[in-house]
Chains A and B, each alone.
Chain A
Amino acid sequence: MTPIKIFLGVALFWLGSASEALAYLDPGSGSMLLQLLLGGVAGVVMLLKLYWHQLLAFFGIKKKEASDETPGAPDGE
């Protein structure tokens, strides 16, 4: 496991902790998201794109917006 993966994994965990969740509902969304991390370099890049704003907010670089409760669509770049 590369350091970037560990970093992203920890970040994802903290971001995800914001929402109250019942594990037994288990729609597998966590499993789906994890597949980005397990999908090699391309997956990690996608993960960064998906969570860029939240990561910035998490590290205090950018102010957290109300709409950041769930991850938004990737940047339309």
Chain B
Amino acid sequence: MIPTLSIDDLCISFPRHGAPIPAVQGVSLSIAPSECVGIIGESGSGKTQVFMAAMGLLASSAAVSGSIRFEGGDLLSADTAVLNRVRGSKLTMIFQDPMTSLAPHLKIGTQLAEVLVCHSGMSWRDAWSSAARILARVRVPDPKRRLHQYPHELSGGMRQRVMIGMSLLCEPALVIADEPTSALDVTVQAQLIELLRTMRGELGMALALISHDLGVVAGLADRILVMYAGRIVESAPALELFSHARHPYTAEMLKCIPSLSGPRLARLPTLAGQPPQPGEQLEGCAFAPRCPRVAARCRSERPLLSPAGAAAVACHFPLPA
């Protein structure tokens, strides 16, 4: 079976004052058809850049190496004409801010129908009715009227529904959702997670869900990748990750989530220190300065991502399974 997306040894760096600053270092991953993979990590961990590279949306100054294949075809070396046939139709992306990712001066209907006119060669009339159908599908009330509205007339949650609808218009094989609910209220977030779950069930597309919020990822993902300082440090089935995190970073992150039940705490659990600064290269493990399990070896030798059952962990001293 050909994976929907397969990334091998991806490295991305951006120049600063003439020197390359690595943002992503040796990331390999694969997403199977219909699989939902969650990618979690803090800001600056490189999680978004990996998928911006897949979409061909990296800043032009970025230096990229490695390979990214979508349904077997190479994306990195593909020219723009080839990329344009794939992205927006079979490979789509939803962004965090639903206001800035819709064009403010075009009607919702125009923006949706345009996708079908460009990718499926539909007439505007047919595309317009398909657009109404997709809005109904993503539970936008009164879709025919919405088509004639502008983005500012919709609430944040409705705009994000429109974005989700737009990403589904051409029956994509993979939808990349980058922090799709982070800008929204918790009640709206719950509805959108539910919507993504339903759409996956109905349409069977694969989903890459990028978030810093473990709760959002927990509700949807089959498998979770944890990124830290530009690398994948742990990969595990979702249930296993939440019950038996192997990497100390994952375990510490889980401890930092304040709970809604149990005893109230006088102080919140924290992870001391900060992630490495961009460009700060550590000889050993990037998490060593903050790690409660750190040993001498961690500071001199970088641990590689090694398989451990259904999971993989990049740590010299992982927690027991």
Whether chains A and B associate is no
B→A interface (CB under 8 Å): none
A→B interface (CB under 8 Å): none
